[in-house]
């Protein structure tokens, strides 16, 4: 069974980082298999009558494995010129060569500065030639409008071994052209219908909306020990939904959340109990459909709840220590669920609201300075 190279995000001590720098594991070998169905991202531009591509010098990266040299004449697979005409990203494949336990080949993603002709090997993936399982292959996705960032994947074909594509989208990498560095962003993401925003799950800690240039739009935290799956943009391009659960492979609770991408407001619009292997999809014109297993049976759940931005309302959050004692605090008769994690002191309360609410959610960033609390807001779902 083949596994793809992964670059997980983690916080480690400086000492551990220095120790790891001297003990890098070898890059696992992968092997090509049958082509996967299109995922809705722009198709790569083919290269008519390609000319031989010279072997570029590999770019050094902090977590790179020991350098392995590619050999043979590369075959061009894809070519992606930047909108401004200054850059081009090529994907090439090197032929299979004998190794001690079989044959292997390499695919390489190369950044070319068309102004100078300089070439830099950004990412090299080694593949087994005699094993076609798993997700593999380098593939270009799209450039940012300003030609500063190129997005690609290291799983062009196939699906992960085991549970396949559950809670998984093809890993998204961001290549910054000016300094020729690449970063693995996530494997749960979706591009907005207009193409100008990305919604993604970062480090399993938060859902983030950002521009294609990498500028932050909004961020919404994910509670500890919960996992977000299946981001789906709605046709309006202003809202998206995602699934949240503790363990996607075991029976348990699932919630479908609707997020206002511009404001970061969210609300739970659908709940499941004792369900597993749940996936979400958009069916036009019907809307959102969930599928999964419940009580041992394969189930389908059409989601009839609305997910429009008028379901959200922003509420002020105030510091109890700075307000008169007669200001109303939480009215629990108007709430079914309160999901709040905020630093104490100070205590935070809702100042006022109108109508009743099914669920109240308060955003927080406990990994940022306290002054960030001034940016907090609460949302509620109207009846």
Q: pLDDT tens-digit profile of 109-162?
A: 999 999 999 999 999 999 988 776 788 999 999 999 999 999 999 999 888 776
Please indicate, yes or no, if residue 16 is contained in any of the structural domains: no
The answer to whether residues 258 and 239 touch, using CB atoms and an 8 Å cutoff, is yes
Q: What is the span of the domain harbouring residue 249?
A: 188-310
Q: Which of 283, 310, 337 is the last residue of a domain?
A: 310
Please indicate, yes or no, if residue 54 is contained in any of the structural domains: yes
Total domain count for the chain? 3
Do 93 and 123 lie in one domain? The reply is: yes
- Residues contacting 223, CB < 8 A, separation 6+: 339, 341
Do 343 and 234 lie in one domain? The reply is: no
277 confidence band (pLDDT: 50, 70, 90): very high
Please indicate, yes or no, if residue 273 is contained in any of the structural domains: yes
The fraction of the chain above a pLDDT of 90, given in percent, is: 44
163 confidence band (pLDDT: 50, 70, 90): low
Do 303 and 230 lie in one domain? The reply is: yes
The confidence score (pLDDT) of residue 308 equals 57
pLDDT surpassing 80 at residue 68:
no
The answer to whether residues 114 and 89 touch, using CB atoms and an 8 Å cutoff, is no
Q: Which of 129, 148, 180 is the last residue of a domain?
A: 180
Q: For strand 87-99 and strand 172-176, is the pairing parallel, antiparallel, or unpaired?
A: unpaired
Do 220 and 259 lie in one domain? The reply is: yes
Q: Which of 180, 201, 222 is the last residue of a domain?
A: 180
Do 36 and 173 lie in one domain? The reply is: yes
DSSP state letter for 86: S
Do 235 and 153 lie in one domain? The reply is: no
Q: What's the CATH number where 258 sits?
A: 2.130.10.10
Mean pLDDT of the chain: 71
**Residue-wise pLDDT tens digits, 18-51:** 233 333 433 333 333 333 333 333 334 333 443 4
Please indicate, yes or no, if residue 5 is contained in any of the structural domains: no
Do 146 and 46 lie in one domain? The reply is: yes
Do 319 and 277 lie in one domain? The reply is: no
The confidence score (pLDDT) of residue 132 equals 66
């Amino acid at each position: 069974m083949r596994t793809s190279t992964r670059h997980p995000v983690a916080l480690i001590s400086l000492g551990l980082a220095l120790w790891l720098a001297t003990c890098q594991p070898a890059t696992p070998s992968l092997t090509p298999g049958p082509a996967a169905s299109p995922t809705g991202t722009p198709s790569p531009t083919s290269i008519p009558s390609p000319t031989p591509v010279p072997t570029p010098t590999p770019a050094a990266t902090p977590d790179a494995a020991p350098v392995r040299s590619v050999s043979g004449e590369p075959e061009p697979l894809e070519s992606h010129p930047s909108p401004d005409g200054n850059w081009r990203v090529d994907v090439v494949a090197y032929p299979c060569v004998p190794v001690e336990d079989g044959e292997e080949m390499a695919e390489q993603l190369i950044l070319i500065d068309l102004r100078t002709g300089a070439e830099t090997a950004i990412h090299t993936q080694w593949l087994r030639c005699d094993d076609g399982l798993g997700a593999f292959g380098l593939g270009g996705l799209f450039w940012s409008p300003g030609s500063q960032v190129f997005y690609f994947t290291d799983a062009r074909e196939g699906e992960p071994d085991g549970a396949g594509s559950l809670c998984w989208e093809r890993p998204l990498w961001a290549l910054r052209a000016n300094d020729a560095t690449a970063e693995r962003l996530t494997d749960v993401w979706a591009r907005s219908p207009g193409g100008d925003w990305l919604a993604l799950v970062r480090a399993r800690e938060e859902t983030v909306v950002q521009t294609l240039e990498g500028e932050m739009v909004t961020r919404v935290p994910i509670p500890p020990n919960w996992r977000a799956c299946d981001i789906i943009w709605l046709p309006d391009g202003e809202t998206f939904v995602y699934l949240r659960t503790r363990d996607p492979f075991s029976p348990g609770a699932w919630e479908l959340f609707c997020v206002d991408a511009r404001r970061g407001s969210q609300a739970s619009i659908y709940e499941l109990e004792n369900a597993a292997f749940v996936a979400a999809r958009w069916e036009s014109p019907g809307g959102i459909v969930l599928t999964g297993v419940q009580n041992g049976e394969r189930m389908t759940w059409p989601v009839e709840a609305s997910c429009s931005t008028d379901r959200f309302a922003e509420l002020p959050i105030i510091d109890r220590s700075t307000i008169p004692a007669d200001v109303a605090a939480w009215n629990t008769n108007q709430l079914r669920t309160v999901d709040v994690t905020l630093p104490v002191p100070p205590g935070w309360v809702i100042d006022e609201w109108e109508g009743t609410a099914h669920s109240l959610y308060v955003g927080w960033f406990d990994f940022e300075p306290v002054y960030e609390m001034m940016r907090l807001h609460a949302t509620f779902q109207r009846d």
